Amino acid sequence: MNLVIFGDIDRWSDAVNILTKYRPDIHIIGLCSLDLGDYKNSSATVTLREALDLFHQGQIDGIININGENFHYFSLLENLGFFPVYVLPSYFSLQEELGKIASGERFIYPYKDILPELMQLEFHLADHCNLNCKGCTHFSNLVPSPVFANFIPFQNDIRRLASLFSHIHTFYLLGGEPLLNPDVKDYVNVIRDSFPYSQIILVTNGILLLSMKPELISFLRTNRVHLSISAYDCLDTEKIAAFIRQHGLLADLRVEKGCFSKFLNPKGDSNPLEIFEQCSRKNCTFLGQGRVAACCMPFVIQYFNQYFHESIPELESIDLYEPNLTGHELQKRLIAPMELCRFCSKDVDFPWEISSPPYKKEDWCV
């Protein structure tokens, strides 16, 4: 079988290695991407037009999309006339890394013969926080009392997602401050049971990091949970870096969190398509109580509304248990603007700082 590999350049190497090792019957005729960049004059690459010509000439049998989470890529390839369009699920590279490749795998599939992939999913372990950041994009400083995640619905929702998607690349457990939740391990275990090869990232402000119990530290290390630590000015980053090294944790200190952004337009007269296209949060698929949306706003704007007596639309999201819903359909709907986008504006950056009540609407509104 002669095929062209299509997808992001940084994934070419893994795809070639997997197919060369486990599918020697597949001959890779060329490597292709929307933008070949420095590789456009390489003898190993072909443009999308050249790949289509090879297909029509019968020199290749199809094309492999190695970005299984990218609905646009599948749609583009189908509209150009490629058939079949294959997919090489990304989790095979992770299985290879962990030495867990199953025998008898086909490795490539016509893409509609296998569940699709989702790029990322965010979930709040706690809506509230132990730090009052000015203009918190999740409105955690406006949460009037502790709000923790509900475990049983989360467990059900993850199982439902496993019936819709073959793989979710990255789970973000955040808040608020996720380490305020005493049951972190239970949530990680549920994710690992259904999506064993997903990257799990716990996003924390770092305040509780040094006081974590030894059993939690060991659990996070064993389960490959990555700590993404917002390096705010109030942290002793040297002490935290030493703690990470001492315990062999997967972690990074995000120094870019020295800057926040205001983004709300309570008048609701923004162009949804324009806002969605430039939005940095549009691919941050958020899960809450059996529903998902392209960002967290439908799930947390209630706190802004309650505090400032506003009426920005709430709960505009997709029901995971909607009859006949498929992963492919869900992918498609997550890349469309929401009505809620009318209430967002282009981001306006400002330096991070701690705030205190009474809070000002101007901390969020452009």
What is the pLDDT tens value at each position of the chain, 366 positions in all?
999 999 999 999 999 999 999 999 999 999 999 999 999 999 999 999 999 999 999 999 999 999 999 999 999 999 999 998 999 999 998 898 888 887 788 999 999 899 999 999 999 999 999 999 999 999 999 999 999 999 999 999 999 999 999 999 999 999 999 999 999 999 999 999 999 999 999 999 999 999 999 999 999 999 999 999 999 999 999 999 999 999 999 999 998 777 899 999 999 999 999 999 999 888 899 999 999 999 999 999 999 999 999 999 998 999 999 999 999 999 999 999 999 999 999 999 999 999 999 999 999 999
Query: How far is 262 from 202, CA to CA, in rounded Å?
Result: 24
Distances (CA, A) of 170 to 114, 188, 197, 216, 235: 19, 12, 9, 20, 26
Question: Using CA atoms, how far apart are residues 322 and 286, in angstroms rounded to an integer?
Answer: 17
pLDDT digits (tens, 9 = 90+) for 282-326: 889 999 999 999 999 999 999 999 999 999 999 899 999 999 999
Predicted local confidence at residue 258, as pLDDT: 79
Chain Cα centroid distance, residue 14: 20
Residue type, 233: D
pLDDT of residue 65: 97
Token pair listed for 63: 């094309």
Predicted confidence at residue 31, as pLDDT, reads 98
CA 292 → CA 17, 32, 55, 122, distances in Å?
A: 35, 33, 38, 9
Query: Rounded to 5 degrees, what angle do the CA atoms 302, 303, 304 make?
Result: 90
Rg, Å, the chain Cα set: 22
Which residues share a beta bridge with 292? 287, 318
Structure tokens at 120: 């990322």
pLDDT value at position 348? 96
Q: How would you classify residue 334: left for phi > 0, otherwise alpha for psi between -120 and 50, otherwise beta?
A: alpha
Distance between alpha carbon 249 and the CA centroid of its chain, in Å? Answer: 21
- Which residues partner with 230 through β-bridges? 254
Nearest to 284 by CA among 119, 89, 67: 119
Supply the pLDDT for residue 98.
86
Residue in 229, 224, 143, 230 with CA at minimum distance from that of residue 191: 224
Neighbours of 56 (CB within 10 A): 11
Whether 107 and 23 have beta carbons less than 8 Å apart is answered as yes
Rounded distance, CA 363 to CA 360, Å? 6
3-state SS of the chain: helix, strand, coil percent to 5?
40, 20, 40
| Integer Cα distance of 6 and 15 in angstroms | 10
- The residue with tokens 């890779």 is 28
The helix or strand, by DSSP H or E, that contains position 252, with its residue range, turns out to be strand 251-254
> In the block, which residue shows the tokens 């259904």?
194
Sign of the dihedral through C-alpha 94, 99, 102, 104:
positive
Residue 15: C-alpha distances to residues 21, 90, 122, 191, 304 (Å)? 10, 8, 27, 25, 45
Work out whether strand 344-351 and strand 259-264 pair parallel, antiparallel, or are unpaired: antiparallel
Contacts of residue 110, Cβ cutoff 8 Å, sequence gap at least 6: 84, 85, 86, 87
- How distant, in Å, are the alpha carbons of 89, 122, 142, 183 from that of 249? 28, 21, 32, 19
